[in-house]
Amino acid sequence: MKKTIWIIIVMVVIVLTVVGVIFFSNKKNEYVFETVGRKNITGIVSESGTVTASGGVYIYSSTTGIIDKVYVLNGDKVIEKQKLFSVKSTATPQEKAEGYALYQSAKSAVQQAENNRRSSSATVDRVHDDVKNNDSDETFLEKETRTTAEVANDNAYDALLTAKANLVSAQTKYNSLLNSTAVAPIAGVITNLAVIEGTMVTANSLLSPSDLVLFIKSGGPTEILITIGENDINKIEVGQKADVKFDAIENKTYKGVVKRFDEKGTVVQGVSKYNLYISVIDADEKIKSGMTADADIITSELTDVLAVPNTAIKPYQKGRAVRILDNKGNIQYLPIKIGVRGKEFTQIIEGVNEGQKIIVSLTSEQTPKASMFKI
């Protein structure tokens, strides 16, 4: 009995499956049509990027020690040379003495290098004076003497530059052992304050960068850095307008303008990418450094041109085409030549006529997938 019931169930499933296949295979596609007409098209290049920290200054500690006093808070407006924070050095007396000795030694080395440079310059002047009347028949000995003096003078100059660089390094090192008070190098607004009184900080240097203490945002422009591909870079010009949206700021579109872009690109996975900077004209306090932004750069604006919806254009025989129905109801592809592509419509240069009915989509077509052809 149970076996018979299972056989019946299996037979019903098979019948229903066959009927479903027949039904759906015979179901005709329904088409969405559009009439080719004239439109106004705004050509755009769309890319994503991040807000850079332009228009401001990073502030670090010049001393290794403990924050003794903080004079500002986030959001405070400061003027140039206003106190920001002070640091009490944790260096021992021995460390300070050794740092001072190295600093004095570096000063002496600069003085010695300057003396050597003056001496070598004087020697060159004397040698040149000795041979100035023998330019046409300078002897080998005179040439050797002159060349030796000139090389010695060049070496003395290089040694002086090295001594001065060592002095700057020694002075910076010594200063990092002393108490210090940081002041604002520019006027602006305090942001990213990362310390409180009692926080341990280290002296900042190129070889050993330290943590940021705070950032002073000036009244300079807010910029967005994006990277753009080699296929689009020649569409870009300084001064082009852009619509900018931020993931973190809902329901608002900001106005931007292209300020500059790199002439030399960087190859990423075989494709050249170029840095491009967009200045946000109507920036406000909601925009923060590091935010992600989407920018639509307006590269061209066309009026009353022949156009079709972007979704109607399909890849076809290494080119592009639109689809129509022939007299028998079969789909036929019409090769086209396109111009500027906008958000919704693409300019048609040739291939279709105004008033012609084309297929935009079929019911059997799912969500459009990205084509290997960029339209």
Per-residue confidence (pLDDT) for residue 231, from 0 to 100 = 87
Q: What is the DSSP letter of 59?
A: E
- Best CA proximity match to 337, nearest among 323, 351, 324: 351
Separation in Å, CA 64 to CA 68, 122, 165, 190, 239: 12, 45, 22, 22, 46
- Best CA proximity match to 212, nearest among 333, 329, 24, 84: 84
Separation in Å, CA 250 to CA 12, 116, 223, 244, 293: 54, 67, 19, 12, 12
Per-residue confidence (pLDDT) for residue 209, from 0 to 100 = 82
Contact criterion met (CB below 8 Å) for 68 and 198: no
pTM for the whole structure: 0.51
Question: Exposure pattern of 50-61 as b/e (b: 16+ CB <10 Å)?
Answer: ebebbbbeebbb
Per-residue confidence (pLDDT) for residue 340, from 0 to 100 = 87
DSSP conformation letters of 198-266: T-EE----SSS-----EEEE-SSPEEEEEEEETTTGGG--TT-EEEEEETTEEEEEEEEEEEEE-SS-E
Phi then psi for residue 354, to 5 deg, are -60, 135
Query: Would you state the CATH architecture of domain 47-54+221-299?
Result: Beta Barrel (2.40)
Per-residue confidence (pLDDT) for residue 135, from 0 to 100 = 60
Per-residue confidence (pLDDT) for residue 127, from 0 to 100 = 84
Per-residue confidence (pLDDT) for residue 368, from 0 to 100 = 44
User: Which secondary-structure segment (H or E) carries 328?
Assistant: none
Per-residue confidence (pLDDT) for residue 61, from 0 to 100 = 95
Phi then psi for residue 261, to 5 deg, are -155, 155
The partner residues of 319 in beta bridges, in order of sequence, read 316
Per-residue confidence (pLDDT) for residue 283, from 0 to 100 = 85
Q: From CA 218, how far away is CA 345, in angstroms rounded?
A: 41
Residue with tokens 């206003």: 82
Question: Looking at domain 55-89+178-220, which of 3.40.50.720, 2.40.50.100, 2.60.40.1250, 1.10.1040.10 is its CATH number?
Answer: 2.40.50.100
Residue with tokens 């920036």: 283
pLDDT along the chain (375 residues), means of 10: 63 62 53 89 90 81 96 94 97 96 96 95 86 70 86 94 94 95 93 94 85 86 90 92 93 94 87 92 84 92 91 90 89 91 89 90 55 39
User: Which secondary-structure segment (H or E) carries 24?
Assistant: helix 2-26
Per-residue confidence (pLDDT) for residue 15, from 0 to 100 = 60
CATH code assigned to 31-46+302-362: 2.40.420.20
Q: From CA 182, how far away is CA 68, in angstroms rounded?
A: 11
